[in-house]
Structure 1
Amino acid sequence: MSHRHPLLLNGTELRAIGHRYRSAGAVDGEDGRRRQRNRAEGWLDLVNAPFESVDETLERLREVEGVFRTADDRRSVFLTVYTQMTTAVRDGVESGFFDDPAWVRRYLVAFANEYRTALVRYEREQRQRVPAPWRLAFDSSLGGSTLVLQDALLGVNAHITYDLTYTLEQIDITRNRRSKLRDHNRINEILERLVDAVQDALVSIYSADTVDDLDSLFGSFDESLAYYGLKEGRRFAWQNAVLLTDYGWPLLSRYVDWRVRSVSTGAANVILAPTLDRSRSRQVPVGDAATSSLEEFQTAFQQRIPAGDPATWTRSG
């Protein structure tokens, strides 16, 4: 069986890059700050300093999520999902689910610090220092015209397709690489269960009377899932991190940076442009869907979080 060389782009990555360049003006063409509806204040001190432990990370992110949700700041949607994902992986660490629990703890903290840095820079209006997929995610959420699902997926895409490459580069994937790759892939099992919970929660919010299923609202949205899919995005990040770790070539580093930036930005543009079924356009006004209660989403998601210790879930690999 032949294997694609890690330097080569696959079809999904090429399509995402195509979307990035077709939508090149979208990242900065319309500054989301000019069309904000709700923006929480008074939370920046909670995330100014780097996170140092998993528990501290969760405590501070939950506080920010609460501030955002109270203010109807739609950046809370990604944080609602992200804090639950981090909690589930933390529980897996404590239950012995992973080969190297200390490394997974470093993974969680370093990963969260990538998000924290983007969020702080955005809030301080250091716009050019914020990665493009995060600018799109934050602008869109604050603009108030996205659906809850889009808010969630824009954050997932930016964090996994962009941030994760640089997280893995930071936390040493050289020693015991095979074991670390198993742990990296075991996180997929936890995240996939929680993504199912997100989708179920959204279906419950956009009730069956209005939207039969997600395809009815997003048309060919399933096709777009390949652009940010968890397994694909996390495989992409691992592959890029290996290239950055194993080779000290400046030209290769620039290539990886371009690939990560282009694929993640293209994926964000796909998420922002779902096809709304015209036959349902009168039944499902985008404005109404976009303003669905953040509290309602948070409650529906909490009710659908998988029960039980992640260590009891079926392992792969």
Structure 2
Amino acid sequence: MIYSPYTQLPTLAELRAVALTIRRRTRSRHGAWSDPGRERAPDERLLGMMGDPFDSVSDVSERLGAVETYLRDRGDRRSVFLTVYTEMTANVHDGIESGAFDDPEWVRDYLVAFADRYRTALVASERGNPAEVPVAWQLAFDASTSGDTILIQDALLGVSAHINYDLTYALRDVEIDPERPSKLRDHNRINGILQQLVDVVQRALADVYDASGYTRVDELLGSLDEEFTLIGLKEARSLAWRNAVLLTDTESRLIRRFVHWRVEAVSTGAGHFILAPSTDQSVIRALRNIERERVPMDPLREAFHRRLRERVIEID
């Protein structure tokens, strides 16, 4: 069956993301979140760790874990996304070993291709080559190094860019045929793991802020999930699959251009929304002040893993 863009009408969330992207483009390419200090020299150690493509799930797990530790030790908030992502990789790997997936070899390829999308964006950004970095990822990297975000924004910016931008192309690269229905089930299982981990990191953040004496955490957590991320993880996962279907099932240049435009517009709009959510700004300011007094990346990681020990991540 040949699909067209009209087989799936855009959701209201998607339209909001596109509208926000268009509005922001009346400013600069990256808006107010471009990193004014980006003239710094590239981190050669980081580039050495991430310069080569991943070649296996074990390679993904080991190198992402090493980079997460390296960045966290340096107080680099780009590590916050990796705290979540390394755990997702470990859980998917466990699922492969336990037989939880219909097509374990495809899932291995999927995991490597997905991680390599993040790797290439990080390397291009670190080398100072913005033209090679998806806008959603540059927003995430610039914001996390600006010192103006809070930790949940750092985590969600990475999750959003990885799903709203990278996932379409990772699916295309590993191919969704043959046996498309079983691959769709495995795709949903992987992203279900990520959804559970985002829930865990939200609870871990609540632990960190509670320990600092902040009592309004529930106000922030209550506004996250679908509203905070604009398009929501569930819809983003579905949209990535639909995009991959369009790229697979048609040779039309027009439809392919439409998909590429939609991927960039939605991922960029979602990133801008995370940076300026409709949440009470007094809550954001209070949390930012707490984090500036003591950047709680180590406590966050400890709380995250403590919460993980209390919860079994399920693969449906």
Q: Same fold by TM (over 0.5)?
A: yes
Whole-angstrom distance in 2 between the partners of 1:74 and 1:158: 16
Change (3 A) 1:42 1:281: closer
Aligned length: 307
Contact 1:40 1:73 in 2 (8 A): no
Contact 2:14 2:231 in 1 (8 A): no
2:62 corresponding residue in structure 1:
59
What percentage of aligned pairs have identical amino acids? 48
Q: C-alpha offsets along residues 80-104 of structure 1, whole Å, 9 cap, x if unaligned?
A: 1100011111111110000000000
Whole-angstrom distance in 2 between the partners of 1:28 and 1:129: 14
1:105 corresponding residue in structure 2:
108
2:216 corresponding residue in structure 1:
212
Change (3 A) 1:7 1:217: closer
Change (3 A) 1:73 1:177: same
Change (3 A) 1:32 1:246: same
Q: C-alpha offsets along residues 237-279 of structure 1, whole Å, 9 cap, x if unaligned?
A: 0000000011011111110000010001000011001245366
Whole-angstrom distance in 2 between the partners of 1:281 and 1:64: 28
Q: 1:180 aligns with which of 183, 190, 196?
A: 183
2:154 corresponding residue in structure 1:
151
- SS of structure 2 residue aligned to 1:49: coil
1:18 corresponding residue in structure 2:
19
2:197 corresponding residue in structure 1:
194
1:259 corresponding residue in structure 2:
262
Whole-angstrom distance in 2 between the partners of 1:161 and 1:23: 18
Which residue identity is paired with 2:82? L
Gaps of 5+ in 2: none
Whole-angstrom distance in 2 between the partners of 1:281 and 1:192: 23
1:171 corresponding residue in structure 2:
174
Change (3 A) 1:260 1:53: same
Contact 2:157 2:274 in 1 (8 A): yes
Contact 2:106 2:174 in 1 (8 A): yes
- SS of structure 1 residue aligned to 2:210: coil
**Per-residue deviation, 1:28:** 2.7
Gaps of 5+ in 1: none
2:125 corresponding residue in structure 1:
122
1:229 corresponding residue in structure 2:
232
For the aligned residue pairs, the C-alpha RMSD in angstroms reads: 2.5
1:287 corresponding residue in structure 2:
289
TM-score (norm 2): 0.89
Matches within 5 A, 1:40-79: 42-79=45-82
Change (3 A) 1:245 1:205: same
Contact 1:33 1:142 in 2 (8 A): yes
